[in-house]
Amino acid sequence: MTASARTDTLPEPRPSIAALAGDAIALRRDLHEHAELSTQEHRTQATIVEQLRAAGLDGVRPCADTGVTAIVRGALPGPNLLWRADIDALPLDEQTGLPFASRQTAMHACGHDGHVAIALTLARALQSSAGTLAGTVRFAFQPAEEHVGGARRMVEEGVMSDPQVDRVFGLHIWAAAPLGHVLVNPRTIFAAATHFRIIVRGRGGHAAAPHETIDPIVVSAHVVTALQTVVSRAVDSAQNAVLTIGRIQGGVRGNIIPNEVMMSGTVRTFDAGVLDRVLRGMDEIIRGVTSAWRAEYEFDHSTLGACVNDPESTALVAGVAAAFLGPERVGETSVSGADDMSYFLAAAPGSYFLLGGAHAGDGRVYPHHHPKFDFDEACIPLGAELATRIIEAASGSRIA
């Protein structure tokens, strides 16, 4: 099925965006084929810098080591806006079979290659219409979203303060949503992500004499089981929380009881009060179980904040999307995944939203972070048009 057949019921982008669509898709495929992991995005960075300089943007420079920032300066007075796009890939062996599949153990399995293509198309469109643009638009091509830390570093290195940003915007391609649909949330769209580590310390010994030991494997098994009650018994059923232990490590041989076991996992929440109750509940359970078995424990954790949108900015996005795509294609959602766009949203009001990119009816809908993940490239020009309209509405400009 061709792109035109897939999108015949969807509106077309303006001619200036449509003219850039081929370049945008080619760029996406190039980045996909040469995917780079967090903090290693050197080729990606060089490609973005080259594109931005060729387009004539001001202040093109590296940021946060492997990221890039640049600015479009409008000829008219207006607000200072920021558009963010993440650029890194995941440590996966790609299994899509695409002709432009990644050549290395790194894969764009979350749509970041599409985010870069959309943002660069937006940058080119805005720069070519700088004479009618009101205010400024800074671009933040952010590294290390999957690893976490890139957004914080970009904020620390001044992307929000030179000039002072009034509003921030960005999108995430969402392969589970139909092509051309937009999902928003006037409050929290991505959850806070808390990474935790638990170490249970016992007393090792011979597996044939467990009575002479304090077996941390048995204790850990009870801890894992007991922790499953935290969400069901400490969190209001009307609220959301996820607690998952994804890793357990301990022991070297089947006939040796080890001294300690390490386990790690994640908590996802949308409310700070809920997070506090979950973490307190976890500590109480771990303390109680280990005490009953005469073991000791360590429990440490760190949290990436939730992506909390500004209601006014989100209403702007929803209104623009409804006017362009049709109100029937605009909905509301929240996602238990996390995203360090939260740092930008904590520094200035704004809105982060999801853009549908599902392949229609051909069985290629795989979840994000899956080795067969892909999205319909028709969402790239649609996303660039939508982004352009958001900048127009937020700044009061007219872009050709």
Residue numbers annotated as active site? 88, 145
Map 366-398 to HEC letters: CCCCCCCCCCCCCHHHHHHHHHHHHHHHHHCCC
Q: Half-sphere exposure of 4 toward its Cβ, with a 13 Å CA cutoff?
A: 1
Task: Give residue 341's identity as a one-letter amino acid code.
Answer: M
Strand partners, 264: 197, 247
Task: Give residue 129's identity as a one-letter amino acid code.
Answer: S
Q: Collapse the DSSP code of 52 into the 3-class scheme (helix H, G, I; strand E, B; otherwise coil) and give the result.
A: helix
Helices 216-227/272-292 angle, 10° precision: 150
Write out the two tokens for 64.
């946060």
Strand partners, 174: 356
d(CA 363, CA 381): 23
- The residue to which tokens 């079979």 are assigned: 97
Task: Compute CA distances 181 → 201, 312, 324, 331, 357, whole Å.
Answer: 50, 20, 11, 8, 8
d(CA 160, CA 273): 28
Q: Half-sphere exposure of 187 toward its Cβ, with a 13 Å CA cutoff?
A: 5
d(CA 219, CA 307): 36
Q: Are 249 and 261 in contact (CB under 8 A)?
A: yes
Nearest in space to 199 (alpha carbons), one of 137, 144, 261? 261
d(CA 353, CA 65): 26
